[in-house]
Structure 1
Amino acid sequence: MRILQVTPCYIPAYRYGGPVKSVHELSRTLVKKGVDVTVFTTNANGPTNLNVPTDSELLLDGVKVHYFPVQKPRSYFFSLSLSKALKRQIRTFDIVHINWLYVHPTMAAARECFRQGVPYLLAPRGMLDSNAIAMKGSLKKRLYLNLIEREHLTRAERVHFTSDGERNGAISVKWQVQPVIVSNGLDFEQLDQPHDSTLFYKRFPEVAGKKLALCLGRLNYIKGLDLMAKAWPSVVQAVPESHLVLVGPDENGYSKKIRRWLYEGGVGDSVTLTGLLLGEEKNAALKAADVFVASSHLESFGMAIVEAMAFRKAVVVTDRVNISFYIKKAKAGLVVPCDASKLSEAIISLMKNPQERVAMGERGLRLVREKYTWDRAAEEMLQVYRTVLANGNQP
């Protein structure tokens, strides 16, 4: 079976968040199962380009990756050479798995699949969330969704969601699409290796001896860091040794707002913004944390939350996190509304109760091992591919 993954950005462009890594992890796990996987993507990396060849194929963990030059407008991930390659090569693949919405590679791939009769799946990666569209969707984006993406979605053999919550909250539930739910996962071969928090303490000595609340993700409004900034003064008042650690790349200067809010709340000295951490540095931060917090206004899946549970961390998440149902059911953490006072109460509760943190951490690890592994996700996705190829539009 030959699969083509089309995505606007790819590793190591981690600044774009979880989907960059999850597309690669799914692809490399499919390769382990004997699937021939190729990726068409761009060399975009925010305002700069990745240092990768754009005129030859790279082999990353067995995945054949073609990076094409990104052009203006960069936010649209426009790439004429990617379009031309799709036109030439798309019929050499059995099925195409398209990722993201509102970007040129998605439009180019979906239209070429339709023209040449190649079946495709479309994974919106949280971009169909009705709350997200209501919250930040410009008129231009709404028009694009209805005039262009709607056609791509209804023509897709399956629309790939990563959680029940993502599917149920998607605006496409009103349309005639065929949804399929295949979650993201983790690679326990990597996570089961020993990790040492000392690396984190050495780089950020101000956190030593503190009770750490860790947030991991891009620094933007969607991650609910406005709520976190409002909640944090109450946490510090109740547990003075508390320290907030924000791990992730800044987005559009949002970190300046966060710092201002925290200083206005009198707790500016009890926060560390680390920037983007990868590999063992990120693992060390997770190891050091006492509580993991996802104060998100929206979260289609929440890879960082799953990673935290794999590190046996008790989590506090909002009910806008689409896997919050499973976290609550497993008693792996506390689920709160998007309310600063409720958020602070939950964090304080766990900061003051180490035994409960340990118990929740163990339950979280069990949840992740049972439900969120890449081996399981790849097997489920492989079955979806087989069903599509064997039965066309039959669910």
Structure 2
Amino acid sequence: MKILHIVPSYLPAWRYGGPIHSVHGLCGALAAQGHEIHVFTTNVNGSTDSDVPLGIAVDIDGVQVWYFPSKCLRRLYYSPLMKGALKTRIKEFDLVHLHSVFLWPMWVAAGCARRAHVPYVIAPRGMLVAELIREKNKVIKKLSIALFDRRVLKGATAIHFTTEREKADCLALGINVSCGVVVPNGIDISEIPVNIRNSKKKNTAKPYILYFGRINWKKGIDRLIRAMQFLPEARVNIVGNDEEAYLPTLKLLAHDLGVRNQVKFHGPAKLEKKWEWITGASVLVLPSRSENFGNVVLEAMAVGVPVVVTPEVGLADTVKRSGAGIVADGNPESIATAIKKIIHDRKKAHSMSEAGRHTVETEYTWENVAGQMEEAYQGVLRTPLRE
């Protein structure tokens, strides 16, 4: 198949976190299966531009990536040159896969696909959650849904969800999910350094609790800091990129609660340092208020680190089913209790470690995920186009 993916930003825009990794992981895995994969994206990288060639194909792991400039309305990723390319080239492709909502490239690509009678799939990527819509830019997002996104979703031959929870979140917004397909994100185990991948021994010299990810409200980091009141003997490292100026609020909270000596804040980690942070932890905690998937949970499981997640994390069902960790309610005492069960019971922690490794290796490799996505695409091509 010849498949076009539409993504607001792409590598090397690492600052956008999990979606950048997961979309490229999927594209690379599909290319490895023999499909011809193209990506149309912008060069937007926060307030700056990625240093990439514009308007020509750049080969990244077998994926043909086309970058287009966005000079105005950058928050919407507006790019007239991308629109021109879509109009002239979209008929080349068997299908189109859109990643995100609320953004200009999705609206334009969906319209071009409909007019060219090319089927498209859309992946909301965790953005269609009622609580998140209420919390940030509520009026703008509701207008976007009414004017653009509901039409885009209605015209999609399939809606791609990464978890059943994400599908339920969309249903709660009144979106018809009958055409929904659930295909998870994956993990490239070969990216894990060999010495870490093969090691069964944990560094227990100075074990710590770890939060690893973006610093913002929805991640529930304040829940973890509050939990430290019930864990006076423990310490937590919070590692991540703060682009929403939320870090001062968290530091003040740690000070006011009297736990600032237990909580250490670190900036974003370079890719090669990520695995050192994760493997050095006794437990990884993702206490999110909303998380359509949770890539870092898979990464921790892959190297045998037990996890504690809240029910709002998309992978919560996997964590519970596999025994790779504990699903704890979002209140601080419940999170603290779950952490205690892991750090005070080595036998339980070892069992969780082995369960996590096994689950990732048997269910979440990119080869496995690409096979599932390929089946979904075949279903799309057999389905009549929606109006």
Which TM-score tier does this pair reach, normalised by the shorter chain?
over 0.9
- What is the aligned counterpart of 1:281 among 265, 273, 276? 273
Given that residues 130 and 173 in structure 2 are in contact (C-alpha distance below 8 angstroms), is that contact kept between their aligned partners in structure 1? no
| Alignment match, 1:203 | none
**Which residue type is aligned with residue 188 of structure 2?**
D
Is 2:369 aligned against 1:377? yes
Aligned-partner SS, 1:251: coil
Counterpart mapping for 1:1-395 below 5 A: 1-136=1-136, 138-171=138-171, 174-177=174-177, 178-191=179-192, 193-195=194-196, 209-235=205-231, 237=232, 239=233, 242-392=234-384
1: CA distance, partners of 2:60 / 2:250: 37
State the shift of 1:137 in Å: 5.1
Aligned-partner SS, 2:181: strand
2: CA distance, partners of 1:329 / 1:232: 27
Moved more, 243-252 or 384-393: 384-393
**Which residue type is aligned with residue 215 of structure 1?**
Y
Moved more, 264-273 or 60-69: 264-273
Q: C-alpha deviations, 1:117-142, integer Å up to 9, x for none?
A: 11100000011123323443511111
- Contiguous gaps of at least 5 residues in structure 1: 197-206
**Which residue type is aligned with residue 29 of structure 1?**
A
**Which residue type is aligned with residue 322 of structure 1?**
G
**Which residue type is aligned with residue 98 of structure 2?**
I
Aligned-partner SS, 2:72: coil
Percent identical pairs in the alignment equals 34
Q: C-alpha deviations, 1:192-229, integer Å up to 9, x for none?
A: 62239xxxxxxxxxx99432111111100010012112
**Which residue type is aligned with residue 99 of structure 2?**
N
Question: Normalising by structure 2, what TM-score?
Answer: 0.94
1: CA distance, partners of 2:106 / 2:205: 48
Q: C-alpha deviations, 1:58-108, integer Å up to 9, x for none?
A: 100010001111222222111121111111111111100000011111111
Given that residues 314 and 333 in structure 1 are in contact (C-alpha distance below 8 angstroms), is that contact kept between their aligned partners in structure 2? yes
Question: Normalising by structure 1, what TM-score?
Answer: 0.92
State the shift of 1:233 in Å: 2.6
2: CA distance, partners of 1:209 / 1:111: 57
2: CA distance, partners of 1:16 / 1:165: 22
Q: C-alpha deviations, 1:298-354, integer Å up to 9, x for none?
A: 110111101111110111100111221121122211111111111112112222222
Aligned-partner SS, 1:174: coil
2: CA distance, partners of 1:67 / 1:243: 43
1: CA distance, partners of 2:261 / 2:11: 34
Given that residues 157 and 383 in structure 2 are in contact (C-alpha distance below 8 angstroms), is that contact kept between their aligned partners in structure 1? no
State the shift of 1:21 in Å: 0.8
Aligned-partner SS, 1:268: coil
Moved more, 255-264 or 290-299: 255-264
State the shift of 1:365 in Å: 1.3
2: CA distance, partners of 1:374 / 1:14: 19
Aligned-partner SS, 2:65: strand
**Which residue type is aligned with residue 16 of structure 2?**
Y
Aligned-partner SS, 1:290: strand
State the shift of 1:41 in Å: 0.5
2: CA distance, partners of 1:80 / 1:356: 56
Aligned-partner SS, 2:195: coil
2: CA distance, partners of 1:129 / 1:78: 24
| Alignment match, 1:201 | none
Say if 1:208 and 1:176 are closer, same or farther in 2 by CA, change over 3 A: closer
- Contiguous gaps of at least 5 residues in structure 2: 198-202
